[in-house]
Structure 1
Amino acid sequence: MYKIEADYINEQKIWETLESNKNPDAAKIREVLEKAKEMKGLSLEDVAVLTCISDPEMLAELFNTANHVKETIYGKRLVLFAPLYISNLCANECLYCAFRATNKEIDRHALSQEHIAREVEVLIKQGHKRILLVAGESYPKEGLQYVLDSVRTVYGVKSEHGEIRRVNVNVAPLSVDEFKQLKAENIGTYQIFQETYHRETYAKVHVGGKKRDYNWRVWSLHRAMEAGIDDVGIGVLFGLFDYRFEMLAMMQHINELEEKFGVGPHTISVPRMEPATNSDMASHPPFPVSDIDFRKIVAILRLAVPYTGIIMSTRETAKMRRETFALGVSQISAGSKTNPGGYEEDNAISGQFSLGDHRPLDEVIRDVASMGYVPSFCTACYRMGRTGQDFMDLAKPGDIKLHCAPNALSSFKEYLQNFASPETVAVGDELIQKNIAEMNGIARQRAEKLVKRVEAGRDDVYC
């Protein structure tokens, strides 16, 4: 049983750390950047130093270091997924969100299992293999069973050349027993955002519903991991409060999970506030984050937690998404809809927030591949049990690349063979051959073998 107060988020220490590390000179910044190249993570003090960078020369060094770490660990892979909103029913009153309970300007829907299956069919026909199942924090009369049934429905949809192989979940915080039920449905990552770690701001922007309880939410990942879910995802909504404070608080959260469970979050999301229907706050963030500071956030996180995935959603424009690939982003959504039923029949007015990148999946993939990045639909680690601590044990010495690089190419080839436009096939096949030619040893042998099996008509091959 955890303490009522989330004492591991120490606001006084955050402010003291920021104050004592303000105005660092170039030598101090370079010292932190050299430490970051060792890929063993950074301290709160180190992160505070990097948030102070404003000089263009130092920014360039920060970005170059982040690119070095990103490519050393992840290479040129980018994992793709799509969010699947099954409901926009919500009992909370979050001032920045279109789903809030009192908003009468959106149509409310909780998709039936039949409708969810049709949405999944659309996503499968586009080529998706992993989704993030999202629901507003209120359910139909079935309660949590509605979510559990929805996960089963997603996994149950099959087609000639595809199925969803990994369902990640973003739903309201649960009790330990409820998390155990969720784990039993073979979910991948459980994702929950604190939105803001600043207690006073949290109280101001969450004015109704169970989400008002800061502590219930901030302990949610402890309960999830206690229930056996070892892949969890965190994030804040940048724009609600000072991003420097949020980053240090997030580091405190990460350190707490590592201390208690031996492993931190599998992913970090970096959503920035975007306009939402009938929300003045969403259109006018209390602490707007500039494009430069947003790129800094991504780069610093890549250095601070080098082996944790960083997720970039379609909230951001195609241009911003491209720019952050080199700075640390390792997962992106594509072709997203944020309203229930949006893949079968779009109704943007019922979405959670405005999108910045409206391109369909095939166009995103062609763009990503033309930049030299390998779009990956791989779900092998989840199905081979390489999660949580087991994943980190492979990732930190670099051994995970022997699996990830070949699997990325085979899953990309599967997409090209079954779903891609001719233009994307041309770009993608050239990229696959280039990557294989640049591989050595066992990684190259595995990649060649897997890609040939796909070319021969086999789907879902991995090592």
Structure 2
Amino acid sequence: MPQTYPEFLDFSLIAQLKGVRSPDEHRLDEILDKATLLNGLSLEDAAVLLAVQDPRQIQRIMTTAKQVKQAIYGNRIVIFAPLYIGNHCVNNCLYCGFRKDNKVLKRAKLTQDQVHEQTSRMLNQGHKRIVLLFGEGYNLSYLEQSINTIYKVREGASNIRRINVEVAPLDVEGFSRLKQCDIGTYICFQETYDPGLYKHYHPSGPKSDYQYRLFCMHRAMAAGIDDVGIGALLGLADYKLEVLSMLQHAKALETHFGCGPHTISVPRIEPADGAPLSSRVPHLVSDDAFRIIIAVLRLTLPYTGIILSTREKVELRRELFQYGVSQISAGSATSIGGYSEDNAPDTQGGSQFALGDCRPLETVIRDLIQMEFIPSFCTGCYRRGRVGKDFMDLAKPGLIKLFCHPNGIMSFAEYLEDYATADTRKKGYALIEKMQAREQNDKIKTTVDSGITQIQAGKRDLFV
């Protein structure tokens, strides 16, 4: 008999908290002072921050989010890219270009040879971390074969070192099989936590089962998958309901399994051919509201990675790197076979949604260097077993920096040696030198200096 879990969404409480008033200065001081302790905020605190409308108070929230992000993540940004391997789907989600009733989409499924070819092209751009995706309706064996294919691809000394997986919910047995594939994080978005609207937006297909999707992370963690990533597609419902629901979801996982989500994603609906709802967003989330959402999530869940995709435009992405985002996709393609044209993602059409940032990977990296962010391709924690609760036990007392900072810089140096143009390499090493000059921890400084010397001498895949 399948295991059942307690309901965790309290919609009466959410309705009450959505109606709280903007705080006075004293209350705001209390919440922001609490946030700087890096222990997170309560659901009630988060609701108060979501109610703030005064521009000056909003700026205080953003500034505090920047401080918290810097304290935990430093100046590194983890980089990954999605790999879509099939766009057939048995669902009919009204907002998605892959929906079953979309007659304008050219359907495709990559063969294993094509999976190999796409992986090679991603490696030749410099990627080391990918998210693997496809529509619902493919069997689990296809996913297992594709993961196996990807991990076997080599381009010189390069290989994909971490595959995160974003596919439809499985039962516990299915998640147990997925665990054996040596995946990183399992990702699944609830899309909207509003059960009535969920039913409306998902009229047919397995995905129409709200409860089955809602508890997929419980099943994944019960099957031994340590790192999970939750999220909501902003624009389907009131954003305050979505944020407060995600926070309740995170709390439920923490309570039941001793560890909350490894990542949280907040994509906004973007136009998609053949999905009319995507061009008339029911609950539009403005850029100003989006900024607050990112900041509130950072303050409330300080040790959870916040993912920002290439859906967002360049200027806004640059800004949000400062205020809470810790992982980004870059050089992305959301069409099947989209990496076939180097540095020109999604030229083949058939994307799941439109991109706001179509820049090639090196351009994004040059931008990050200019902003003094270290682009990180690190996979060390995953490969050392620092995942799930073990990761959080290191993160909360601030010890994870002993690993993440040197690993991030060494993975960046590897990119500079193998893929960067001469100008990017020069600027990248100048940034590393600046970071090393500021570093006060002698152990980290020594580890990085030694690692870079070895990398420049030809050693690869160094991590602590």
- Structure-1-length-normalised TM-score: 0.97
Segments of 5+ residues of structure 1 without an aligned counterpart are none
Preserved contact between residue 99 and residue 275 of structure 2 (Cα < 8 Å): no
Alignment of 1:270-309 (within 5 A): 270-309=266-305
Question: 2:407 corresponds to which letter in structure 1?
Answer: N
Matched, 1:195 2:196: no
Measure, in 1, the Cα distance between the counterparts of 2:364 and 2:148. Answer: 29
Which residue of 306, 316, 322 maps to 1:320? 316
Secondary structure (helix, strand or coil) at the match of 2:81 reads strand
Segments of 5+ residues of structure 2 without an aligned counterpart are none
Measure, in 1, the Cα distance between the counterparts of 2:84 and 2:28. Answer: 42
Preserved contact between residue 277 and residue 349 of structure 1 (Cα < 8 Å): no
Report the alpha carbon displacement of residue 447 of structure 1 after superposing the two structures with TM.
Answer: 1.1
CA deviations over 1:209-251 (Å, ceiling 9, x no partner): 0000000000000000000001000000000011111111111
- 1:340 — aligned with what? 336
Measure, in 1, the Cα distance between the counterparts of 2:18 and 2:37. Answer: 23
Measure, in 1, the Cα distance between the counterparts of 2:329 and 2:182. Answer: 21
- 1:382 — aligned with what? 382
Secondary structure (helix, strand or coil) at the match of 1:48 reads helix
- 1:34 — aligned with what? 33
Measure, in 2, the Cα distance between the counterparts of 1:100 and 1:287. Answer: 20
Report the alpha carbon displacement of residue 2 of structure 1 after superposing the two structures with TM.
Answer: 4.3
Report the alpha carbon displacement of residue 27 of structure 1 after superposing the two structures with TM.
Answer: 1.8
Report the alpha carbon displacement of residue 29 of structure 1 after superposing the two structures with TM.
Answer: 1.8
Report the alpha carbon displacement of residue 280 of structure 1 after superposing the two structures with TM.
Answer: 1.9
- 2:42 — aligned with what? 43
Question: 2:454 corresponds to which letter in structure 1?
Answer: R
Secondary structure (helix, strand or coil) at the match of 1:256 reads helix
Report the alpha carbon displacement of residue 18 of structure 1 after superposing the two structures with TM.
Answer: 2.3
Preserved contact between residue 22 and residue 53 of structure 2 (Cα < 8 Å): no
Question: 2:40 corresponds to which letter in structure 1?
Answer: G
Distance 1:208 1:11, change over 3 A: same
Preserved contact between residue 76 and residue 372 of structure 1 (Cα < 8 Å): yes
Report the alpha carbon displacement of residue 349 of structure 1 after superposing the two structures with TM.
Answer: 2.8
Measure, in 1, the Cα distance between the counterparts of 2:33 and 2:340. Answer: 49
Preserved contact between residue 166 and residue 187 of structure 1 (Cα < 8 Å): yes
- 1:461 — aligned with what? 462
Measure, in 1, the Cα distance between the counterparts of 2:424 and 2:329. Answer: 18
- 1:120 — aligned with what? 119
- 1:23 — aligned with what? 22
- 1:220 — aligned with what? 216
Measure, in 2, the Cα distance between the counterparts of 1:7 and 1:17. Answer: 19
- 2:9 — aligned with what? 9
Preserved contact between residue 312 and residue 332 of structure 1 (Cα < 8 Å): yes
Measure, in 2, the Cα distance between the counterparts of 1:236 and 1:3. Answer: 23
Measure, in 2, the Cα distance between the counterparts of 1:228 and 1:283. Answer: 39
Report the alpha carbon displacement of residue 426 of structure 1 after superposing the two structures with TM.
Answer: 1.7
CA deviations over 1:69-99 (Å, ceiling 9, x no partner): 0000000000000000011010001000000
Question: 2:46 corresponds to which letter in structure 1?
Answer: V
Which residue of 147, 154, 161 maps to 1:158? 154
Measure, in 2, the Cα distance between the counterparts of 1:362 and 1:282. Answer: 30
Measure, in 1, the Cα distance between the counterparts of 2:52 and 2:319. Answer: 18
CA deviations over 1:238-297 (Å, ceiling 9, x no partner): 000111111111111001000000000000111011001122211111110010110111
Question: 1:110 corresponds to which letter in structure 2?
Answer: K
- 1:182 — aligned with what? 178
- 2:129 — aligned with what? 130
CA deviations over 1:19-64 (Å, ceiling 9, x no partner): 2x22322221221111111111111100100001111110110000
Matched, 1:362 2:358: no
Measure, in 2, the Cα distance between the counterparts of 1:455 and 1:59. Answer: 45
Preserved contact between residue 414 and residue 459 of structure 1 (Cα < 8 Å): yes
RMSD of Structure 2 on Structure 1 (CA): 1.1
Measure, in 1, the Cα distance between the counterparts of 2:77 and 2:23. Answer: 34
Preserved contact between residue 96 and residue 276 of structure 1 (Cα < 8 Å): yes
Measure, in 1, the Cα distance between the counterparts of 2:421 and 2:21. Answer: 51
CA deviations over 1:157-197 (Å, ceiling 9, x no partner): 01113100000000000010110100101000000000000
Which residue of 156, 170, 173 maps to 2:166? 170
CA deviations over 1:97-149 (Å, ceiling 9, x no partner): 0000010111101100110000000000000001000011121xxx1100011
Secondary structure (helix, strand or coil) at the match of 2:323 reads coil
Measure, in 2, the Cα distance between the counterparts of 1:453 and 1:29. Answer: 49
Preserved contact between residue 93 and residue 201 of structure 2 (Cα < 8 Å): yes
